[in-house]
């Protein structure tokens, strides 16, 4: 029984509870205040991500990403999405660099799915699911393979029981 309690504490200690200073359940204004100028209000709400705030350019592992901080139905932070700014950075090198950083910080992924068109690695915590995804874009024979890479921190749905 005590071991189970210690394991729960260890998992809770590792749970990021959001990303960086952006914690699940924060409003846009709370996120803007927490990041003290690094996070900005977007000129237009992103149609797909519904993000009103984020970071226009953040360098991670030598790659510049746009960071979307998106609210859920309750209008509070639900997920944080990183997408490479340059199409040239949507590649295997970016995926591997992000995977290495996540493994250093959180250990090996808890789940790994790999098929011909998509690879997804996932780290799961009490309140957070981190997903690193690489999708292979359809291409014509003789053309270079193209990827789409993204990293998402997502608030884990809470079980009402």
**The predicted structure's pLDDT at residue 14:** 82
**Domain residue limits, the chain:** 2-155
Contact 69, 76 (CB under 8 A): no
Mean pLDDT on 66-84: 96
* Element (DSSP H or E) covering residue 82: strand 77-84
Distance of CA 114 to the CA centre of its chain: 18
Mean pLDDT of the chain: 86
Q: Which two tokens stand for residue 41?
A: 């209000």
Residue 16 pLDDT grade (very low, low, confident, very high; cuts 50, 70, 90): very high
Which pLDDT score, from 0 to 100, does residue 3 have?
37
pLDDT tens track for 118-142: 899 999 999 999 999 998 876 656 6
Ramachandran angles phi, psi of 23, nearest 5°: -110, 150
């Amino acid at each position: 029984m005590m071991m189970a309690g210690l394991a729960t504490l260890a998992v809770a200690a590792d749970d990021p509870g959001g990303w960086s200073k952006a914690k699940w359940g924060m409003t846009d204004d709370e996120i803007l205040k927490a990041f003290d100028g690094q996070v900005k209000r977007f000129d237009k709400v992103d149609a797909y991500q519904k993000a009103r705030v984020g970071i226009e350019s953040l360098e991670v592992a030598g790659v510049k990403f746009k960071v979307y901080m998106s609210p859920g139905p309750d209008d509070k932070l639900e997920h944080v999405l990183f997408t490479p700014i340059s199409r040239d950075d949507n590649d295997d090198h970016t995926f591997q660099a992000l995977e290495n950083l996540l493994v250093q910080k959180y250990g090996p992924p808890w789940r790994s799915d790999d098929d011909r068109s998509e690879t997804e690695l996932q780290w799961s915590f009490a309140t957070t699911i981190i997903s690193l995804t690489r999708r292979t874009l359809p291409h014509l024979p003789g053309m270079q393979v193209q990827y789409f890479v993204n990293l998402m921190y997502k608030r884990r749905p809470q079980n009402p029981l």
